[in-house]
């Protein structure tokens, strides 16, 4: 893997190409259940690529956060995986913003876009993530005797078992030492900027609107997307079609996987046949 390429996991061997982008502190494999479902039991319904974004999973780290850099790395990775072929691009939260920037700046790569519970706007700060960052940084990596020890210690600072499991997937053993796969220092530095957070913001790309089809999946109980966000979304993505998933919070694909799977199947059925 070169410094520019991203770590990926392939699911499925034939059919339209679909790439999945995860959220902050996530990994491509967070989409495994969804990818296996739309690829089909024989892998012939879709060719899925689960992407680890920069500073996450097994992908290289960057020196400073930039949506344009992330989008450029995603575009390069997709182009290398299937030269000349367009993709259905699916992104959640941070990955949804990266997917939007990728579609705006590399429209020839994206035949259809699915944005999950995020809007193209400045969210102000990363205050909602500061507790997660502090919890991760408080774990004494040099003292850990094993994963069970890590989980026990982490439970003292993060009581939610679901959140613990999600964050601890970033913990990896390298030889005799433990470390975080996510670039925690970079994320913490961005969070410390408060209202100047680049991760919370959405960049001005200077690109024309993306004219392809867009499904905008919104968690009905999330609060990340509001009615007033529709105007900006439609300005950048004129064909955006909001779909509210009732009873789902921010992690729509884990809380309502059957809805996301059926939505993606409809997106695939609507693709032009060559």
Active site residues: 93, 185, 250
- The Cα–Cα gap between 44 and 230 comes to 35
- The Cα–Cα gap between 199 and 130 comes to 13
Are 92 and 23 in contact, with CB atoms under 8 Å apart?
yes
């Amino acid at each position: 893997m070169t410094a520019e390429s991203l770590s990926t996991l392939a699911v499925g061997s034939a059919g339209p190409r679909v790439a999945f982008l995860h959220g902050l502190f996530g990994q491509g494999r967070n989409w495994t259940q969804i990818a296996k479902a739309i690829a089909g039991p024989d892998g012939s319904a879709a060719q899925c690529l689960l992407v680890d974004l920069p500073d996450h999973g097994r992908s290289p780290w960057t020196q400073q956060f930039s949506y344009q850099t992330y989008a450029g790395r995603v575009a390069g990775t997709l182009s290398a995986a299937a030269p000349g072929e367009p993709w259905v691009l699916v992104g959640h939260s941070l990955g949804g913003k990266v997917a939007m920037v990728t579609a705006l700046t590399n429209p020839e790569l994206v035949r259809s876009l699915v944005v999950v519970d995020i809007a193209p706007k400045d969210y102000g700060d990363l205050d909602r993530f500061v507790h997660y960052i502090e919890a991760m940084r408080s774990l004494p990596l040099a003292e850990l005797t094993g994963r069970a020890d890590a989980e026990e210690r982490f439970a003292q600072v993060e009581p939610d078992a679901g959140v613990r499991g999600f964050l601890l997937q970033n913990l990896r053993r390298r030889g005799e030492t433990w470390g975080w796969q996510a670039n925690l220092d970079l994320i913490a530095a961005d969070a410390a900027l408060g209202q100047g957070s680049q991760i919370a913001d959405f960049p001005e790309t200077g690109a024309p609107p993306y004219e392809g089809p867009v499904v905008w999946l919104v968690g009905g109980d999330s609060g990340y997307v509001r009615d007033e966000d529709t105007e900006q979304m439609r300005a950048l993505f004129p064909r955006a079609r909001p779909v509210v998933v009732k009873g789902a919070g921010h992690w729509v694909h884990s809380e309502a996987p059957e809805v996301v799977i059926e939505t993606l199947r409809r997106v695939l059925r609507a693709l032009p046949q060559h």
